[in-house]
């Protein structure tokens, strides 16, 4: 039995009690419930500039939000960020505070991507949108003070999947050069028989049942496609350096840990940390006492990866 910090136990109890049972509801209805319960935007930390714009995406207009922090450098590394939400929920606003914190903590220009959501747009629609945002960033971030020779792909949860799959596609397609990938408790695959699924599939906010439902929405035609599941790639060699962050109490934790191991085995430089006693999504709860020190550790891992890319 895992012993939880009191604040973590209280948060998990509140989340388990209040979060809708997605498996019993219409996806659009659940999306609206989650959006309506969202706290108002704090717009903190303060940024030097925040720019909302639309680009031409594979499915029409694709919204981006670009965060430039208060840093004296004229040119900053660029993080192309894909939010979590099971491929079904969340948007630019849901991760606004997190993107601001990342931009401020890392000293990077953050390009947040409002990719198309399932089930209205099943995979690989979200993948296609994030890839398009990467290509756009490679061509245009200079206008916003970004360095297109330091492009980082990042995402949490489902967004971690998208960052991983787009990194593989950029390698295989000869696309934009990616300096690093940041996979935060990533949803790597649909293997529900791992140790973490067996141990933490019920009672820790993110359940096995909900994870199966998310995959059904995103990949109704199956997951035998490297654009959907990064482990379908024959090799991970030649991918950019990776920061892989997992959470012990998260059902997809084992898959994320295993992916970090496979990346390293294929010659990729990996900085991997599993946060003990914490649950899926905890980094987007800034009121949790454990969140701020965890974020600072991750920002430091990202900074180190960026500095390493400059030396390579």
Q: What is the CATH number of the domain that holds 298?
A: 3.40.50.1820
What is the 8-class DSSP label of residue 252? T
The count of structural domains within the chain is 1
E strand or H helix that includes residue 169: helix 158-173
154 falls within a domain: yes
The Cα angle at residue 102 between residues 285 and 163, in degrees rounded to 5 = 95
Cα 170 to Cα 157: distance, rounded to the nearest angstrom: 20
Tell me, what's the pLDDT at 134?
A: 98
pLDDT digits (tens, 9 = 90+) for 65-123: 999 999 988 899 999 999 999 999 999 999 999 999 999 999 999 999 999 999 999 99
Look up tokens 């969340």; give the residue: 90
Residue numbers of the domain that contains 163: 6-311
3-state class (DSSP) for residue 148: strand
Respond yes or no: is residue 137 known to be catalytic.
Answer: no
CB hemisphere CA count around 43 (13 angstroms): 5
The predicted model scores a pTM of 0.97
The owner of tokens 């934009």 is 176
112, 137, 157, 241: the catalytic one is 157
Q: Are 144 and 71 in contact (CB under 8 A)?
A: no
pLDDT value, residue 37:
85
Q: What is the pLDDT of residue 291?
A: 98
Predicted pLDDT of residue 108: 98
Q: Is residue 1 part of a domain?
A: no
Q: Pick out the chain residues at pLDDT < 70.
A: 1, 312
Is-cis flag, bond preceding 124, omega within 30?
A: yes
Tokens of 33: 């419930």
By three-state DSSP, how is residue 114 classified? strand
Q: What per-residue confidence (pLDDT) applies to 1?
A: 59
Predicted local distance difference test score (pLDDT) of residue 264: 98
Give bridge partners of residue 52 from the DSSP assignment. 65
């Amino acid at each position: 039995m895992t012993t939880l910090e009191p604040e973590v136990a209280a948060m998990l109890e509140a989340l388990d009690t209040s979060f809708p049972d997605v498996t019993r509801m219409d996806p659009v209805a659940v999306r609206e419930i989650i959006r309506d319960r969202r706290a108002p935007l704090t717009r903190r930390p303060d940024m030097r500039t925040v720019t909302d714009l639309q680009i031409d995406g594979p499915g029409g207009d694709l919204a981006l939000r670009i965060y430039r922090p208060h840093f004296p450098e004229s040119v900053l590394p660029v993080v192309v960020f894909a939010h979590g939400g099971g491929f079904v929920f969340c948007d630019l606003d849901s991760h606004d505070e997190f993107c601001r914190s990342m931009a401020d903590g890392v000293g990077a220009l953050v390009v947040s991507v409002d990719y198309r959501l399932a089930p209205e747009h099943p995979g690989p629609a979200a993948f296609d949108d994030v890839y398009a945002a990467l290509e756009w960033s490679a061509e245009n971030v200079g206008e916003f003070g970004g360095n297109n020779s330091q492009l980082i792909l990042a995402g949490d949860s489902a967004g971690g999947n998208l960052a991983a799959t787009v990194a593989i596609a950029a390698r295989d397609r000869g696309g934009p050069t990616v300096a690093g990938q940041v996979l935060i408790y990533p949803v790597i695959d649909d293997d529900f028989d791992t140790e973490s699924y067996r141990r933490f599939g019920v009672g820790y906010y993110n359940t096995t049942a909900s994870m199966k439902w998310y995959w059904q929405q995103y990949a109704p035609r199956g997951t035998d496609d490297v654009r959907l599941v990064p482990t379908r790639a024959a090799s991970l060699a030649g991918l950019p350096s990776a920061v892989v962050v997992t959470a012990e109490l998260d059902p997809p934790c084992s898959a994320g840990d295993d992916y970090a191991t496979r990346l390293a085995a294929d010659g990729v430089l990996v900085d991997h940390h599993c946060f003990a006693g914490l649950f899926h999504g905890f980094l987007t709860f800034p009121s949790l006492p454990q969140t701020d020190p965890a974020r600072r550790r991750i920002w430091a891992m990202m900074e180190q990866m960026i500095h390493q890319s400059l030396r390579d």
